[in-house]
A and B are shown apart, each in its own frame.
Chain A
């Protein structure tokens, strides 16, 4: 595997020690040189902006004016009274809880059913994974066409059941659910694959032992599969929750009017941050809102970690 070894090393305890020190110094130098470009990039595009984001949230600054007064927590207290922010927060929370819960509740039974079915499972796995791999923007456009009020496929399908046409994307209350359906469609396959792996890692003998003891399929699921699946389940919940708070692309593509007019857009947190920061140029205010998003994500992650720990005890 390695090339021809070099001629025998000169011996002697002194030489050995000296060469080890030289070696260590070289290795240390190597570590820092190898890490330097990665860390430079990491600090420049992530660490510094995060710190800067915290700092900015205490200032009032609208980019065009040179004045940048420190206003303490004013941005935060203003946010709490901001109708747009409250609406965005509410929509984002509903969106997150609904997509995470629905996609988990759909993926889990599918995975249980598919776990021991060789090629059938492989075929379905591929089909359900297709939306995960496809880029979000074209899919959002395709769904906008499906949700179209006049010619949309969905309203056509509903007409068979005598349901009158639904304004899927133009009424904000319904648009939230339209976005949720589309997002469940997009993410379901990811959860399915993770659950499939988790279930396949459970030794078959456990399930057989349980059925020999007369356990019904439901009991086997409840008392064997589910407890052993908990780590994966929690992983899925954490990642899905974190990702769901950042929802933006679907909302931007599907609910903004023509010429990108935000009049009827569905208000979610990232949309509001984007609007405050880049349309109204309220950099401080937008940063405070961004901090709220971070707190929310961190809070939910901590709760989920707590849950993992309490389950392990």
Chain B
């Protein structure tokens, strides 16, 4: 379909665009590379002018130092544990509510679904004070269950699952199973769930990323540092050792690495899931 060869102007423009993209790409990864490089530098190499990108005498001292000065192993285990619990719970609650809202008619259906979606716009930060008071009243401040509670379900997960079940699973399948005498629970677990793998993976990925990055709520309600997740632990550590950038960068690398590994393994899936949300929204 090309009618004419590209003009010199167009070629220059393309070249310029490539240059901008490349510079932008460097800008994107540089903070992470700088963090990684600094984490391997011995103290005298960190406070130098002019800064040198690569460590001259690489050391693991910052990493061992981080674990000695704060219970980072514990923070890490807390983050993993709480993120997994949140992910599992979000997947289960999204399946239950998503399937019911998609395939059943019952009094209150529209109102309830509308309420779940509408309240998703209200920022969490605007009702964290009463939530704190509620949990205070039942003694859940400074407990694991209190920290994970708000992450156990996700409006967006319910919405995504409902869209998926409504559009991708024919009602005939469910009817056929019913004629064969299957119970509704059997249909949910043996028909709907296995046909929802793509929605599950999108929801699971979002839930895990969100739970791992949870910050303001754990900051409020975890007072005991043994309950800190990676994010809050790292922040507390930073306020104590605000100028020890070697150790700070080592801690930051430890917190970032799991996400990077997950991303590199599931890159396609994650990007597809993000794209999916844009379209469904």
Please list the residues of chain A having a beta carbon within 8 angstroms of any beta carbon in chain B: 1-3, 5-6, 9, 23, 26-28, 30-32, 34-35, 37-39, 41-42, 44-50, 52-53, 56, 106, 110, 113-114, 124-131, 133-139, 141-146, 148, 150-151, 153, 156, 185, 188-190, 193-194, 196-198, 201, 208, 211-212, 217, 232, 235-236, 239, 242, 245-246, 248-249, 252-253, 256-260, 270, 273-274, 277-278, 283, 286-287, 290-291, 293-294, 297-298, 301
Residues of chain B within 8 A (CB-CB) of A35 are: 96-97, 100, 112
Residues of chain B within 8 A (CB-CB) of A144 are: 238
Smallest Cβ-Cβ distance to A200: which chain B residue: B275
Nearest CB of A to B272, in Å: 9
Smallest Cβ-Cβ distance to B278: which chain A residue: A194
Nearest CB of A to B231, in Å: 4
Residues of chain B within 8 A (CB-CB) of A143 are: 31
Q: Which of B153, B260, B262 touches A42 (beta carbons < 8 Å)?
A: B153
Residues of chain A within 8 A (CB-CB) of B93 are: 37-38, 41
Q: Which of B131, B232, B251 touches A49 (beta carbons < 8 Å)?
A: B131
Residue picked from A45, A49, A197, A274, most chain B C-beta under 10 Å: A49
| Distance, CA A283 to CA B146, complexed state (A) | 19
Instruction: Check B123–A293 contact: CB distance below 8 A.
Output: yes
Known: A128-B28, A138-B253, A283-B129. A47 touches B123 (CB 8 A): no
Q: A139-B256, A197-B275 are in contact. List 18 more A-B contacts (CB 8 A).
A: A6-B180, A9-B179, A28-B106, A31-B104, A38-B158, A49-B134, A135-B230, A138-B256, A139-B32, A141-B249, A145-B249, A235-B278, A242-B121, A249-B216, A270-B123, A277-B129, A293-B126, A297-B121
Please list the residues of chain B having a beta carbon within 8 angstroms of any beta carbon in chain A: 1, 3, 10, 17, 21, 24-25, 27-32, 34-35, 38, 46-51, 93, 96-97, 99-100, 104, 106, 112, 115-116, 119, 121-134, 149-150, 152-153, 158, 173, 176-185, 188, 191, 209, 212-213, 215-216, 219-220, 230-232, 234-235, 238-240, 242, 245, 248-249, 251-253, 255-256, 259-260, 262-263, 267, 270-271, 274-275, 278-279, 281
Could you name 7 residue pairs across A and B whose Cβ atoms are closer than 8 Å? A30-B104, A38-B93, A53-B129, A134-B259, A136-B231, A142-B31, A290-B125
Residues of chain B within 8 A (CB-CB) of A139 are: 31-32, 252, 256
Known: A138-B251, A185-B27, A193-B278. A46 touches B259 (CB 8 A): no
| Distance, CA A194 to CA B277, complexed state (A) | 9
| Distance, CA A245 to CA B230, complexed state (A) | 24
Residues of chain B within 8 A (CB-CB) of A5 are: 179-181
Nearest CB of B to A112, in Å: 9
Residues of chain A within 8 A (CB-CB) of B130 are: 48-50, 52-53, 56, 287
| Distance, CA A307 to CA B251, complexed state (A) | 45
